[in-house]
């Protein structure tokens, strides 16, 4: 995704893992646990593109329900 600041556009600045229906950002991970840096990364994606909702999905868990973290950008 490009990054835009005022009239400056930088193409291919961000590489989202998945983008669903122009509304939901999915960030896929396989880590021991979700760290604050992962949440900061997601918030950066959301704020820079004015998206509202993102899901961090960590596949390194025994039950997938434990690996889902919902992030909401309060515009």
Q: Which residues pair with 25 in a beta bridge?
A: 19, 54
Place of tokens 């600045």: 13
Q: What is the pLDDT of residue 5?
A: 67
Q: What is the pLDDT of residue 73?
A: 93
Q: Which residues pair with 28 in a beta bridge?
A: 57
How do residues 2-53 score in pLDDT, each as one tens digit?
A: 666 677 777 766 677 888 988 899 999 999 999 999 999 999 888 888 889 9
Is the pLDDT reported for residue 55 higher than 80?
yes
Q: What is the pLDDT of residue 48?
A: 81
Query: For the chain, how far is it from start to end, CA to CA, in angstroms?
Result: 19
53-58 and 24-29 strand pairing: parallel
């Amino acid at each position: 995704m490009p990054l835009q600041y005022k009239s400056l556009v930088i193409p291919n600045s961000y590489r989202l893992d998945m983008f669903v229906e122009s509304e939901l950002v999915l960030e896929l991970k396989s880590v021991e646990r979700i760290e604050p840096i992962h949440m900061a990364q997601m918030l950066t994606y959301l704020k820079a593109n004015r998206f509202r909702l993102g899901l961090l999905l960590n596949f390194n868990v025994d039950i997938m329900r434990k690996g889902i973290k919902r992030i909401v950008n309060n515009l």
